[in-house]
Amino acid sequence: MAPEPGTVADVFLELLSGVEITPSQGIVDIVLIVGRDDARRVLETAKTHPRLAFDFLRNLCGVDYEDQGMEVVYHLYSYEHRHNVTVRVKLPADDLHIPTVSDLWRAADWHEREARDMFGIVFDGHPNLVPLLLPDDMLDHFPLRKSNPLAPLEEWQGEVLGPKMGEAGHIPPGSGFEVTPSVAAEEA
């Protein structure tokens, strides 16, 4: 759904008239979809232009669309203007590179390192893109990708164990399995 006239989307469209931006209204934020080649310019304008002043990077995350590639999502907030925006940037599956924004928002340092660890997205120009969450010897697969080699194993375990899944160890709340602790587990 298109955003209402007069929102922050109009400011982006006005300031970045040569950039292809697709705005929509999210549940809370205005969502802007931009191309990878324009991402740095859009994000730099978001941070530095006085009419936008997005001084807070709330979150940066990766999204896996399997064969269609990945997406980097930036959630921004302006304390001065009290507005939100989400910027989404699609990356092709065979070229997961995007410029860093760690020089714009210091918080992006760890967010980008986490997205690199979990999804394999490379943030070009990042000053220290070393593993944040994973050991140095675990850089051959990415745990949050849908192609993660452990995902089918976890699904298989659930299918094989069925209702006995509750006896397999800790079952998190909301898993769909009602678990009653055994007497042995209570005594342990």
**186: helix, strand or coil:** helix
Check pLDDT > 70 for residue 52.
yes
Check pLDDT > 80 for residue 186.
no
Give per-residue pLDDT as tens, 85-120.
999 999 999 999 999 999 999 999 999 999 999 999
All residues at 6 or more sequence positions from 8 whose CB lies less than 8 Å from its CB, including other chains: 30, 52, 81, 83, 84, 85
pLDDT confidence of 131, banded at 50, 70, 90? confident
Q: In this predicted structure, what is the pLDDT of residue 169?
A: 57
> Is 11 within 8 Å of 55 (Cβ atoms)?
no
Q: Which two tokens stand for residue 46?
A: 């978001």
Q: In this predicted structure, what is the pLDDT of residue 185?
A: 46
CA distance 118 to 110: 12
Q: Which two tokens stand for residue 93?
A: 């599956």
Q: In this predicted structure, what is the pLDDT of residue 170?
A: 55
CA distance 8 to 24: 11
Give the domain 8-140 fold.
Answer: Beta Polymerase; domain 2 (3.30.460)
DSSP-assigned beta bridge partners for residue 24: 31
Check pLDDT > 60 for residue 179.
no
pLDDT confidence of 26, banded at 50, 70, 90? very high
Check pLDDT > 90 for residue 163.
no
Check pLDDT > 90 for residue 33.
yes
CA distance 147 to 182: 35
Residue with tokens 């994973």: 134
Would you kindly state where each structural domain of the chain is located, as residue ranges?
8-140, 149-188
Least confident of 69-78, 93-102, 113-122, 131-140: 131-140
Mean pLDDT of 168-186: 53
Cα-to-chain-centroid distance, residue 24 = 18
Backbone angles phi, psi at 63, to 5 degrees: -135, 135
CA distance 127 to 113: 10
Q: In this predicted structure, what is the pLDDT of residue 132?
A: 83
Check pLDDT > 70 for residue 22.
yes
Check pLDDT > 60 for residue 172.
no
